[in-house]
């Protein structure tokens, strides 16, 4: 074993071997994988080996598509068969609600390049005759599903990596990780110490233990997972013989089971409600090629439904029950990327679907390490998406909840209860007393809407407009016509200070920094000119700036800030960054009476001239020291009031008491988001993401290319000069009883018109419509391209995708935001666009100007 390496990958499962292969393929050959035992000694060896491309996050789905297409490549390079069985598969819906879910998934497939198709239960039965189709109302067919040999696939990655120059060291446990002052890592193993520039935690079942070596508690947990193998079945053999095909894979939401052919029998696995964690605190280092004791009683309820839905399996003999541990993160997606606060320490763990996601994880992480950017929007997998609130006990509760809901539908208005409440503000009990329906906002309890007195404060979950609709409408109307108050503690809050703070922020942000007492809005770009942040910045004093942004991005943004901090001379500190989190909380008041209300609570002049739109001031509010911004996300006259938690109850009571004469109401986050739609305001991680440039995102007025050489300036200047290919637009939608939720396809009646090459959303290759109306597609595995079904219908084409939307209660319109080719972005013609909602294409029309207060007079009043 050599003593130095550029990068060391810890862990020899399918993910570790994929990372090693992709790093070698990217040109890093001075790399080493260290495995405590043999390859596949954790979860990989006993995995069921299934793969699919569908995922609730389209960006993760894209990387899953890449993974599936990669297998032929590594087979050819390594000479090792993956034993690939591309059978296709179906998802079965037994209720109208589950069928709505499949319609949503199918609609996403129209623009993601997924060749899915909605079919009848009888059509599904023809491909899997063991089912009783009368139990179902419909199904979705996906041809890019199947299964493979887990061991063979892992070794194919490893052999391919070796051929490209990588080294693999087996039977050698890493026992300690330390870091030198210069950033070099000492990887201490049983066979000696290796110095490395980078360390990658692909520890799988032991990823927590590897993280603890560097002081990080990763939010993941291993769960026991069972599947059974039947004896050979004559029905299976007959199907194979008569059709010449293998039986397809089937996912049954009701039974929480998946099934597929395995040799001449059937493999059936469960995600049972009565799930069981494995080794919830510490993973034993001596655990190896072992299985856990089966517990068929625990999965009996799922089997009972499964046997009813698939009676052909019930009479088959059970040959073996496999019970083994797999790791999960809180939301079921992987933990990937650099860990904030550490230098060159990377994660690729909690990849429970390793044979669906392992290739994409390896590609994204190798891009990140070699080129400084993952090359894709990987927020759904980014290790930075969870905060300090994701403690060991919180994680254990959330992972159990996620596992038990693996095949359950997540409705757009559904809030999950496990591990809550975790973080609360001083107003939590007050909000509950006000009949608030609370939601989880990055671990913080936040009021979503207020149920009428005498009714239960509870969401009725649905894909359609639900029981919150009327109450949200009342909150919006009262705020727009009088005044409303809402809690805004769930924003991210930072202070950047020091003599170099203004230069630092000018280097990071696209807009000029404000003068003292003023506020600016500004995007932040990466080196490739893509949107990675959207901030409100106030200059509180010389060398002191207050910053607000999306709470979910706090660790994501801190990681970026820390990466670009100036290197100070010894004993100096040019720039200091403080993240407040919940040590600074806030309230916002908005509406035409908000100035009158606030004036009663302060002892300074806040008239229009004295306290202008986009002003910042420190003042006492209701007797409490506060910071006040004259701005709100409602797009109306209003104020953001920030204070230490100790003062929040005092300020809220003062607002409520003084607001009584003005008709003050409480409003929640759903009303706030409804009002932002009326102003065409974008949201971070929906409209503004690292796959879009600032001019595509319609952020033109906040990008000052002439100000200085900020990060991403050159590619942004090219985007402006060449013209953006896409453009964010707002639509008025002729919706029925359901509004858009995000990721719906946008159809346009464009015939054979050519709108140039347009990158598909989430990186799915390139799509272009030529003069004959035929689509030209990319074809490389790295692009994740695949055959596309259902993007053309006569003169209609899928030309874009929805990012977010909902019902705008004050203007009484269903609104959507999304991206379309720039050539179409200013066309407000009726009859040009349709947006597909739950399988129904609804007429839509671009609305260039905001439907509420298009001139902006109200918020500037």
**Which pLDDT value is given to residue 754?**
65
* Inter-residue contact 591 to 484 (CB < 8 Å): yes
> What does the pLDDT average to over 262-266?
95
State the Cα torsion 209-215-218-222 to the nearest 10°: 20
pLDDT digits (tens, 9 = 90+) for 148-206: 999 999 999 999 999 999 999 999 999 999 999 999 999 999 999 999 999 999 999 99
Percentage of the chain modeled with pLDDT above 90: 88
**Which pLDDT value is given to residue 569?**
61
> What does the pLDDT average to over 126-141?
96
Q: Indicate the SS3 state at residue 520.
A: strand
* Inter-residue contact 351 to 360 (CB < 8 Å): no
Which residues on neighbouring strands pair with residue 549, listed in sequence order? 492
**Which pLDDT value is given to residue 210?**
98
Task: Give phi and psi for 565, each to the nearest 5.
Answer: -60, 140
Contacts of 488 (CB under 8 A, 6+ apart): 586, 587, 588, 640
- The residue among 796, 779, 799, 791 whose CA lies nearest residue 725 is 799
Half-sphere exposure for 318 (CA within 13 Å, toward CB): 12
Task: Give phi and psi for 84, each to the nearest 5.
Answer: -80, 125
**Which pLDDT value is given to residue 769?**
28
Contacts of 57 (CB under 8 A, 6+ apart): 333, 380
Task: Give phi and psi for 332, each to the nearest 5.
Answer: 85, -10
* Inter-residue contact 362 to 9 (CB < 8 Å): no
Contacts of 446 (CB under 8 A, 6+ apart): 438, 439, 440, 487, 489, 490, 668, 669
**Which pLDDT value is given to residue 782?**
29
The runs of H, that is alpha helices, within 468-602 are 469-481, 501-508, 554-563, 594-599
Give one DSSP letter per residue of 722-791, joined into a string. Answer: H--SEEEEEEEE--SS----S--EEEEE-TT-----EEPGGG--EEEE-TTS-EEE---GGGT-----SS
Could you give the CA distance from residue 548 to residue 198 in angstroms, rounded to a whole number? 32
Cβ-count burial 628-660 (b if 16+ within 10 Å, e if not): bbbbbbbbbbbbbbbbeeebbeebbebbeebbe
Q: Is the pLDDT of residue 340 over 70?
A: yes
Higher local confidence (pLDDT), 735 or 64: 735
Q: Indicate the SS3 state at residue 9.
A: strand
Helices 96-112, 58-78: axis angle to 10 degrees equals 60
pLDDT digits (tens, 9 = 90+) for 514-573: 999 999 999 999 999 999 999 999 999 999 999 999 999 999 999 999 999 998 766 668
Across 246-250, 339-343, 763-767, least confident range: 763-767
Query: Which pLDDT band holds residue 624 (cuts at 50, 70, 90)?
Result: very high
Number of residues that make up the chain:
861
Which residues on neighbouring strands pair with residue 730, listed in sequence order? 817
Could you give the CA distance from residue 301 to residue 255 in angstroms, rounded to a whole number? 8
- Which segments within 150-218 are labelled E, that is strand? 167-169, 174-179, 185-189, 192-201
Half-sphere exposure for 637 (CA within 13 Å, toward CB): 21
Backbone CA torsion sign across 366, 367, 369, 370? positive
**Which pLDDT value is given to residue 572?**
64
Could you give the CA distance from residue 689 to residue 551 in angstroms, rounded to a whole number? 15
Higher local confidence (pLDDT), 138 or 353: 138
Across 478-487, 751-760, 786-795, 829-838, least confident range: 751-760
**Which pLDDT value is given to residue 61?**
81
Contacts of 571 (CB under 8 A, 6+ apart): none
Helices 14-25, 354-371: axis angle to 10 degrees equals 40
> What does the pLDDT average to over 783-787?
31
Could you give the CA distance from residue 748 to residue 514 in angstroms, rounded to a whole number? 41
* Inter-residue contact 376 to 63 (CB < 8 Å): yes
Task: Give phi and psi for 797, each to the nearest 5.
Answer: -135, 150
Higher local confidence (pLDDT), 78 or 288: 78
Could you give the CA distance from residue 717 to residue 801 in angstroms, rounded to a whole number? 25
Helices 469-481, 669-678: axis angle to 10 degrees equals 60
Higher local confidence (pLDDT), 113 or 518: 518
- Chain Cα centroid distance, residue 409: 17
What pTM did the predictor assign? 0.94
- The residue among 223, 297, 301 whose CA lies nearest residue 255 is 301
For the chain, how long is the longest CA-to-CA vector? 87
* Inter-residue contact 211 to 19 (CB < 8 Å): no
pLDDT digits (tens, 9 = 90+) for 383-412: 999 999 999 999 999 999 999 999 888 999
**Which pLDDT value is given to residue 10?**
98
**Which pLDDT value is given to residue 241?**
96
Q: Is the pLDDT of residue 785 over 60?
A: no
Cβ-count burial 291-306 (b if 16+ within 10 Å, e if not): ebebeeebbeebbebb
Across 352-361, 479-488, 535-544, least confident range: 352-361
- The residue among 316, 291, 293, 290 whose CA lies nearest residue 303 is 316
- The residue among 756, 861, 738 whose CA lies nearest residue 802 is 738
**Which pLDDT value is given to residue 815?**
98
- Chain Cα centroid distance, residue 704: 30
Q: Is the pLDDT of residue 757 over 60?
A: no
* Inter-residue contact 538 to 616 (CB < 8 Å): yes
> What does the pLDDT average to over 280-302?
93
pLDDT digits (tens, 9 = 90+) for 33-68: 999 999 999 999 999 999 887 777 777 888 888 898
Give the mean pLDDT of the chain.
93
**Which pLDDT value is given to residue 571?**
63
Query: Which pLDDT band holds residue 7 (cuts at 50, 70, 90)?
Result: very high
* Inter-residue contact 716 to 687 (CB < 8 Å): no
Query: Which pLDDT band holds residue 760 (cuts at 50, 70, 90)?
Result: very low
Q: What single-letter DSSP state applies at residue 412?
A: T
Q: Radius of gyration over alpha carbons of the chain, in Å? A: 28
* Inter-residue contact 203 to 11 (CB < 8 Å): yes
- Chain Cα centroid distance, residue 828: 31
Query: Which pLDDT band holds residue 783 (cuts at 50, 70, 90)?
Result: very low
**Which pLDDT value is given to residue 628?**
98
Angle at 691 between CA 386 and CA 758, to 5 degrees: 155
**Which pLDDT value is given to residue 485?**
98
**Which pLDDT value is given to residue 596?**
98
- The residue among 601, 577, 580, 584 whose CA lies nearest residue 642 is 584
* Inter-residue contact 819 to 761 (CB < 8 Å): yes
Across 160-164, 166-170, 373-377, 813-817, least confident range: 373-377
Percentage of the chain modeled with pLDDT above 70: 95
Helices 58-78, 150-163: axis angle to 10 degrees equals 70
- The residue among 338, 327, 448 whose CA lies nearest residue 395 is 327
> What does the pLDDT average to over 354-372?
95
Which residues on neighbouring strands pair with residue 118, listed in sequence order? 140
- The residue among 547, 544, 810 whose CA lies nearest residue 673 is 810
């Amino acid at each position: 074993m050599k003593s130095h390496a550029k990068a060391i990958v810890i862990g020899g499962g399918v993910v570790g071997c994929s990372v090693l292969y992709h790093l070698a393929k990217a040109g890093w050959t001075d790399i080493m994988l260290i495995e405590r035992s043999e390859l596949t000694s954790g979860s990989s060896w006993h995995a069921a080996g299934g793969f699919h491309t569908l995922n609730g996050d389209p960006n993760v789905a894209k990387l899953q598509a890449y993974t599936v297409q990669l297998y032929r490549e590594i087979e050819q390079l390594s000479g090792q068969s993956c034993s690939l069985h591309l059978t296709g598969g179906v998802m079965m819906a037994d209720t109208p609600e589950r069928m709505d879910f499949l319609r949503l998934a199918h609609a996403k497939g129209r623009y993601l390049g997924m060749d899915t198709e909605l079919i009848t239960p009888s059509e599904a039965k023809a491909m899997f005759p063991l089912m009783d189709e009368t139990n179902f109302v419909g199904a979705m067919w996906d041809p890019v599903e199947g299964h493979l040999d887990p061991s063979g696939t892992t070794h194919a990655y490893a052999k391919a990596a070796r051929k490209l120059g990588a080294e693999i060291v087996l039977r050698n446990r890493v026992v300690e990780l330390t870091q030198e002052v210069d950033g070099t890592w000492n990887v201490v193993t049983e066979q000696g110490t290796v110095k490395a520039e980078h360390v990658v935690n692909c520890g799988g079942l032991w990823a927590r233990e590897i993280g603890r070596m560097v002081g990080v508690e990763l939010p993941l947990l291993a769960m026991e997972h069972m599947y059974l193998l039947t004896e050979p079945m004559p029905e299976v053999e007959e199907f194979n013989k008569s059709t010449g095909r293998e039986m397809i894979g089937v996912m049954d939401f009701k039974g929480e089971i998946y099934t597929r052919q395995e040799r001449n029998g059937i493999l059936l696995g469960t995600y049972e409600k009565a799930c069981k964690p494995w080794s919830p605190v510490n993973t034993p280092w001596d655990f190896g090629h072992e299985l856990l004791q089966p517990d068929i009683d625990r999965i009996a309820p799922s089997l009972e439904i499964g046997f009813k839905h698939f009676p052909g399996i019930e009479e088959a003999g059970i040959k073996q029950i496999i019970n083994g541990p797999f790791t999960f993160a809180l939301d079921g997606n992987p933990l990937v990327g650099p860990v904030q606060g550490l230098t060159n320490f990377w994660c690729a763990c909690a990849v429970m679907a390793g044979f669906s996601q392992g290739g994409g994880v390896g590609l994204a992480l190798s891009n990140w390490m070699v080129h400084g950017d993952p090359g894709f929007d990987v927020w759904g997998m980014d290790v930075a998406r969870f905060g300090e609130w994701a403690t060991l006990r919180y994680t254990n509760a959330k992972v159990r909840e996620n596992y038990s809901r693996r095949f359950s539908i997540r409705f757009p208005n559904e809030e999950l209860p496990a591990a809550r409440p975790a973080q609360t503000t001083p107003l939590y009990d007050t909000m509950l007393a006000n009949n608030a329906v609370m939601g989880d906002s990055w671990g913080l309890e936040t009021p979503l809407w207020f149920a009428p007195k005498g009714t239960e404060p509870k969401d009725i979950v649905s894909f359609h407009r639900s029981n919150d609709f009327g109450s949200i409408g009342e909150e919006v109307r009262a705020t727009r016509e009088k005044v409303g108050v809402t809690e805004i503690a769930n924003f991210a809050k930072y202070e950047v200070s020091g003599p170099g703070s203004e230069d630092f922020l000018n280097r990071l942000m696209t807009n000029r920094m404000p003068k003292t007492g003023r506020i600016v809005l500004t995007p932040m770009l990466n080196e490739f000119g893509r949107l990675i942040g959207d901030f409100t910045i106030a200059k509180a004093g010389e060398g002191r700036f207050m910053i607000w942004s999306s709470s979910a991005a706090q660790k994501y943004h801190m990681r970026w800030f820390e990466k670009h901090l100036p290197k100070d001379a010894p004993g100096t500190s040019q720039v200091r960054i403080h993240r407040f989190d919940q040590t600074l909380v806030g309230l916002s008041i908005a509406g035409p009476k908000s100035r009158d209300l606030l004036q009663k609570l302060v002892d300074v002049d806040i008239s229009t001239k004295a306290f202008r739109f986009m002003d910042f001031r420190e003042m006492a509010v209701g007797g409490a020291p506060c910071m006040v911004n004259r701005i709100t996300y409602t797009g109306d006259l209003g104020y953001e009031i920030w204070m230490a938690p100790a003062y929040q109850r005092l300020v809220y009571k003062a607002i409520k008491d003084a607001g009584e004469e003005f008709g003050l109401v409480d409003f929640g986050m759903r009303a706030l988001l409804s009002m932002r739609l009326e102003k065409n305001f974008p949201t971070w991680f929906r409209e503004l993401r690292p796959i879009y440039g600032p001019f595509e995102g319609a952020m033109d007025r906040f990008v000052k290319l002439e100000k200085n050489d900020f990060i991403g300036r050159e590619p942004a200047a090219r985007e402006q000069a060449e013209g953006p290919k896409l453009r964010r637009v707002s639509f008025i939608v002729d919706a029925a009883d359901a509004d858009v939720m995000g990721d719906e396809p946008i159809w346009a009646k464009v015939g054979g018109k050519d709108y140039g090459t347009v990158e598909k959303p989430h990186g799915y290759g390139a799509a272009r419509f030529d003069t004959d109306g035929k689509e030209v597609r990319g074809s490389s595995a790295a692009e994740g391209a695949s055959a596309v079904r259902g993007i053309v219908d006569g003169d209609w084409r899928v030309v874009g995708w929805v990012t977010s939307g909902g019902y705008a209660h004050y203007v009484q319109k269903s609104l959507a935001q999304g991206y379309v080719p720039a050539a179409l972005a200013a066309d407000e013609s009726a009859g040009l666009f349709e947006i597909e909602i739950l399988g129904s294409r609804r007429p839509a029309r671009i609305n260039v100007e905001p439907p509420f207060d298009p001139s902006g007079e109200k918020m500037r009043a």
